[in-house]
Amino acid sequence: MVRLAIISDTHVPSREPRIPDWVRETCADADHVVHAGDFDSPETYEAVREFSPELTAVTGNVDPPSLDLPEVATVELGGVTFVVTHGTGPLDGYRNRVVGAVERTADGEAVGICGHTHEVMDETVRGVRLLNPGSATGAAPAIEPTMYVAAVADGEVSVELREGSR
């Protein structure tokens, strides 16, 4: 079994001063961490790399080009393919845009991991499961910090939402 921590939209330092300790600890305890973009700064990206045992990350709409991260990344864990994209663009059409990225990227079934809206989502759209962990720091418009912890084994994904304080 692979324990996967899923975070996004940290927005440090422009909207929040730091990533909460409980998020850092949960990520450090995972086997792999996915960050779906909007680190906000090179320092935040480096901090996430430091506390993550393994990291898959993509760029978000506020990330500086110097991070040199892909817009879409794929990782296979526990027999499941995950396609990660921030979902940059208008809210209208967001789900279809993310599903489109998954369909263009994956060979066969995949789970889409996305960010951008700061709203927690676990939905199936056009046969694709989409996971948005919200904002790991509670950056507006989120109300509180959130993330997902997933157990991945034998092609199955079980997801638990974690919520906490800043």
DSSP structure string for 70-102:
-SEEEEEETTEEEEEE---S-STTHHHHHHHHH
* Rounded (10°) angle between helices 21-29 and 42-51: 50
The domain 2-163 having CATH identifier 3.60.21.10: the answer here is yes
What pLDDT score was predicted for residue 78?
96
Q: What is the pLDDT of residues 127-140, one digit of tens each?
A: 999 999 999 999 99
Residue 25, phi-psi category: left (phi > 0), alpha (psi -120 to 50), beta (remainder)? alpha
Residue boundaries of the structural domains of the chain? 2-163
What is the pTM assigned to this prediction?
A: 0.97
Strand partners, 84: 73, 113
Q: What is the pLDDT of residues 86-108, one digit of tens each?
A: 999 999 999 999 999 999 999 88
Per the CB < 8 A criterion, the answer to whether 27 and 48 are in contact is yes
